[in-house]
Structure formats: structure tokens, C-alpha cells
Amino acid sequence: MNNYKYEDIKIGMIEQFNVNLTENMVDDFCKITGDINPLHIDLAYAKSKGFKEKVVYGMLTSSFLSTLAGVYLPGKYSLIHEVDILYKKPVFISDSPLTIRGEVVEKNDLFKQFTIKFDILNKENKKVVRGTMKVGVLDE
């Protein structure tokens, strides 16, 4: 885990990591949230809506933004303040490995907060999710 302090965070810093989506993750996410929507758990229904596979919950794909801030950028002293997420393409398990990538684009010294521009890419390097996140640094 990284443990960058606020002063260590520089505009242009990039962190990224890969994630393999699994059926177990989808099952666990369903259990946590109670979101039993068939698009995510019923292949026949997903196909009837024109998708080649079950669609991975958008909020499950987004969950890895927690890891991006909490483990990588800034790591230990992270507290997420704000997240704006735009879904560009449906995500399937077969899109794995996903790449979760964040770049520091702004700093706010008054609030010890910085802005990450993030992209989530599928295994073909196509952008499936993008957005920004404001993260505070609890380094005192």
C-alpha cells in the first residue's frame, strides 16, 4: 500500500492496477446489495436485451475506485470526498483483466484534497468507465 502524504502528491502522478472479474465477485456483490436485477445474474435475460453476456454491475466495476484511492493514490491516508462516474460501455466478465488507472489533475491546498481523473479499460484497452474523484489526505 502506498502512503503518500499531501505534499508528496504531484499533478501528473499516475497509478494503475489490474483486476480480474469473477462470477464470485458478482455473486458477492449481489449478496451485499440485494440488487437481484436479472441483467446481472440471468444470462438468458441479458441476451434477450442484446448483450452477449450478463452485464457486470456498474457499481461493482466502480468499487475498484475504492482501491485506487485507498491503496494506490494516495494509499493509506485516503478519504474519498466525491466521485463522478460515466459508464461508456457495458462490462462483461470476459473483459478481464480490467485496468484501473488514475492520474492526479488538480490539488486543493485549502482542503488537502486532490482530484484524480480515472479510466477503467478492458483487456482490449477500450475505455469502459471514466470519471473524476476528489480525495482528501488524512496525513496528520
Cell of 10: 504531484
Q: 82 φ, ψ to 5°?
A: -160, 140
Nearer to a second copy, 13 or 71 (CB): 71
CB 128 → a second copy: shortest distance, Å? Answer: 13
Nearer to a second copy, 12 or 44 (CB): 44
Binding site for a second copy (CB under 8 A): 1, 19, 25, 28-29, 31-40, 49, 55, 57-60, 62-67, 70-71, 75-76, 78-87, 90, 138
Residue carrying C-alpha cell 456498474: 58
Nearer to a second copy, 86 or 110 (CB): 86
Give the CA-trace dihedral at 36, 122, 68, 66, to 10 degrees. Answer: -10
In DSSP terms, which residues pair with 117 in a beta bridge? 103, 132
